[in-house]
Amino acid sequence: MNIARIKRRRRILFLLLGFSALSISGTLILLATRDSIIYFYSPTELLNKNNIENKLIRIGGLVKTGTLKRKENLKINFVVEDGKNEIKVEYQGILPDLFREGQGVICEGKVIKNNIFSAYKILAKHDENYMPPEVADALKKSGKWREGENN
Partner 1 sequence: MLVELGHFCLALALSVSILQFVLPIIGIKLKSTRALATSTYSSYLFFCLVSFSFISLMWAYISSDFSVALVAQNSHSLKPLIYKVTGVWGNHEGSLMLWILVLSLYSLALSIIGKNIPLKIKSIVLSVQGLIASAFTGFILFTSNPFLRLLPPKLEGEGFNPILQDIGLAIHPPFLYLGYVGLSITFSFSIAALILKQADSIWIKWVRPWAMLSWTFLTIGIALGSWWAYRELGWGGWWFWDPVENASFMPWLAATALLHSSIVAEKRNTLKAWTILLALIAFSFSLLGTFIVRSGVLVSVHAFASDPSRGIYILLMLILFTGGSLALFAKNAPKLKSGNMFSPISREGAIVINNIIFSAAAATVLLGTLYPIFIDALTTNKVSVGPPYFESVFIPLMVPAILLCGFSPMLTWKRAVFDNIYERIIFIFIVSILITSFLIYIRNGSAMTFLGIFLSIWLFLGTIYDFFERILRGKSFNEVAKRIVSYPRSAYGMSFAHIGVSIFILGATMSTAYKTEIETSVQIGDKIIVENKELIFESIKQNQGPNWLADVATFRISHNESDISFLYPERRFYPASQINTSEPAILSRLFYDLYIVLGEKDIKNKNFAVRVYYSPLLNFIWIGIAFMAFGGILSLSDKKHRVSYKTLRKNRNLSIK
C-alpha angle with apex 122: 54 to 77, nearest 5 degrees?
75
Give the DSSP letter of residue 148. T
State the minimum distance, in angstroms, from the CB of residue 5 to partner 1.
Answer: 11
Region near partner 1 per CB under 8 A, out of 9-17, 46-54, 82-90, 112-120: 9-17
**Rounded CA gap, 55 and 44, in Å?**
17
**CB 117 within 8 Å of CB 111:** yes
State the minimum distance, in angstroms, from the CB of residue 95 to partner 1.
Answer: 7
Is 137 an interacting residue with respect to partner 1 (CB under 8 A)?
Answer: yes
Is 115 an interacting residue with respect to partner 1 (CB under 8 A)?
Answer: no
Region near partner 1 per CB under 8 A, out of 15-23, 47-55, 81-89, 111-119: 15-23
Is 74 an interacting residue with respect to partner 1 (CB under 8 A)?
Answer: yes
- Cα distances (angstroms) measured from residue 91 to each of 15, 28, 55: 51, 33, 17
Which position among 1, 5, 33, 114 is part of the footprint of partner 1 (CB under 8 A)? 33
